[in-house]
Amino acid sequence: MPTYISRDLAQYLMSKNSELPELEILNAFPYPIHIYDAKGTSAMVNRAFLDTFELSSPDTIVGLYNLLSDAMIDLAGIREYVERAFAGETIFIKDCKVSVEYIRKNHNIKRTDQKTMYQDITSFPLLDSKGRVKFVVVMMITQRLYNEKSEINRAKEYIQNHCEEKFSLKKVASAAGFSPAYFA
């Protein structure tokens, strides 16, 4: 059995008369996938998840990380959606800001480059035979990625998020924490 899957998830899949080909498919999937148990603890991540978030091993997250107790979901403003997913609802969150810096800090990844990404996130439950949530599958598709100095990221984000408004160099500079002369 691969090391990136929890024992509970393997037992669940086997109870469905599966020979676990789903794991091969999930691991080969080009988008990050994270599966949590019903209490919010990480049960599996695929290779794309590890690559996207620059994690060296699933052992750093599977069985250790708990989404429901992470303040990040409050900072991102998605707690309501996460709780609905764990209550059994299929949820789609469009354009969710994900701080790679926050993830790196929590997993002791020592890198200095700045990254912020916006992802579309789909979450759906895997139910047991009685219709109760056993696991929640979270699939992420990165829509935008900012990978530069944080000030430049803030300027790009501001422009992207305010592109239909009249352009103001002063507002862009203020959002980035620079003087307007920096952009001239």
Confidence band of 3 (pLDDT split at 50, 70, 90): very low
pTM summary value: 0.71
Residue 51 parent element (H or E) = helix 47-52
Inter-residue contact 148 to 51 (CB < 8 Å):
no
* Amino acid (one-letter) located at 173: A
Task: Report pLDDT for 152.
Answer: 65
Instruction: Encode pLDDT of 32-61 as tens digits.
Output: 999 999 999 998 899 898 888 878 888 888
Kindly report the number of other CB atoms within 10 A of residue 5's CB atom.
22
Q: Which two tokens stand for residue 159?
A: 């422009």
Instruction: Encode pLDDT of 121-144 as tens digits.
Output: 999 999 888 999 999 999 999 888
3-state secondary structure of 124: strand
- 146: pLDDT strictly greater than 80: no
- 9: pLDDT strictly greater than 80: no
3-state secondary structure of 138: strand
Distance separating alpha carbons of residues 40 and 86, to the nearest angstrom: 8
